[in-house]
Amino acid sequence: MKNKEKHLLKVTDEDAGKRLDVFIKEKLTELSRNRIKNLIEEKFILVNQKDSKPSYKVKIGDEIKVEIPPESELEIKPKEVPFEIIYEDDDIAVINKPAGIVVHPAPGHHNDTLVHGLLLKLKNLSGIGGKIRPGIVHRLDKDTSGIMLVAKNDFSHKKLVEAFKERKISKTYLAIVYKNLENKKGKIESFIGRHPVHRKKMAVLKEGRLAITLYEVKEFLYKATVVFAKPVTGRTHQLRVHFSHIGHPILGDPVYGGLKYDIPKPPRLMLHAYKIFFKHPRTLENMEFIAPIPKEFEKYIELLKKG
C-alpha cells in the first residue's frame, strides 16, 4: 500500500485572508478544488492541528498540514463513448469531444461520460485528478464540442495544470453569436462570479474574478456572426457569459439568452473548441492541433447565408 503524501504549508502576509481551499489550490496545483474540499471534510487537512472548513480565511502564521492519501482503484468501468483521438503519445492525448458528452461523472451522468470512453481507448491515464477524473486537466461544457488535452501520467498532468494556471496554453473557440458585432476585433473584460440567485449560472459581478476574452470576426451572416474567441482567462462559462453580456449571446444557449425566435433554430449550442496551442509537457516541443468544424455548424452557417 502506498504511503500518504504529506505537506506542511505556512501562511505568509501575501496569502493572508484567502480561503483555505483557494490557498491550498495555489500551493498544490495538481489537486482539484473538489479533491481539496473532500480532503478538508475528511480531516486530512488541518489548520494548526485542528480541522477546519474550505471557507476558512487563513491567517499569517497558520500552519496547514496536508495529507494526501493514495486514491482507491478506479471504480469507473470502461465503456464505448463517441470521441476522436487526434494525437497520442506516451504522455498526452489530444481528443475531439462531441457536443452532448459530459466530461466526467456528475449527478445524472454516472456511466456515460468522456472518462468512461477514455478508459476504454487509452491504456494509461493520470491519477492526480481523482478516481472520477483520470487524465482530466481541463473541461468543456456538456454541449460544447471540440478539442481537449488529456494527461496519460502524473508527470504530464502536473505540467499541464501548471501551464494552464500560468496561461501558457492558448485555446481558440469558434462561436456563432446573435446579430452582427459592431467591431471586427474586440476585447471583453469584466469580473465573473457565481450568480447570486441562480447558483448554476455565472454572471458579470463586481465581486467576481477577472475574465478577459479576445475575439475576431470570421464572417457576418443573417442576424448572426461567426467569431473566433480566445479566452485569456479560464472562468466557468466565460465565453457564454461574456457574449451575452455585450448583447450577442451564443446561439442555442438556453441559459444565457441564446434562444431567439427571429432567426432559424440552431441544432445545438453553437460553441466549438477549435484550436489549442501548447508546449509538450516532456519534450517542450511547440504543438498545435485543430478540431475540424462540426458538420452541423457548417450546415447552419449555410442556412444563415441564405437569410
User: Is 141 considered catalytic here?
Assistant: yes
Cell numbers linked to 264: 432559424
Q: CA 264 to CA 248: how far, in whole Å?
A: 16
Catalytic residue among 141, 143, 154, 262: 141
Q: Which residues are catalytically annotated?
A: 141
